[in-house]
Amino acid sequence: MDKTNFFKDVYEVVKLIPEGRATSYGAIAEYLGTKGKARMVGWAMNNAHTETDVPAHRVVNREGMLTGKHHFGGDTMQTRLEAEGIVVENDKIKDFKAKVFWNPMTELEI
């Protein structure tokens, strides 16, 4: 797997996440045909700081935890999510699975 192209593909999917919604590393990996490679999506998100148009704050773990927040510095990730109307409590998106989760497998045509 070519890491550069994989990261680019991840960024293209992340750019499609609508404001006020969030997805998981695993959902992106599955959409890209690399199910089980959620950690690789996480690495792409860790490097997304060089890509200013990638809303990396909208990507969390499968439970809605803000696991990548330390890459943003301080409470930046939570602040960005809350500015979009997403409720965050104890570093976790409230109602993640019920209301906020955006599944690229169903929201995008493969």
* Residue 96 located in a structural domain: yes
Q: Which pLDDT value is given to residue 47?
A: 87
Q: What is the CATH number of the domain that holds 92?
A: 1.10.10.10
**62 CB burial (10 A radius; 0-12, 13-18, 19+):** middle
**92 CB burial (10 A radius; 0-12, 13-18, 19+):** middle
* Residue 106 located in a structural domain: no
At 54-88, the pLDDT tens digits run 999 999 999 999 998 888 888 999 999 999 999 99
Q: How confident is the model at residue 110 (pLDDT cuts 50, 70, 90)?
A: low
* Residue 108 located in a structural domain: no
Range of the domain at 79: 3-101
* Residue 25 located in a structural domain: yes
At 20-61, the pLDDT tens digits run 999 999 999 999 999 999 999 999 999 887 777 999 999 999
Q: How many domains does the chain have?
A: 1
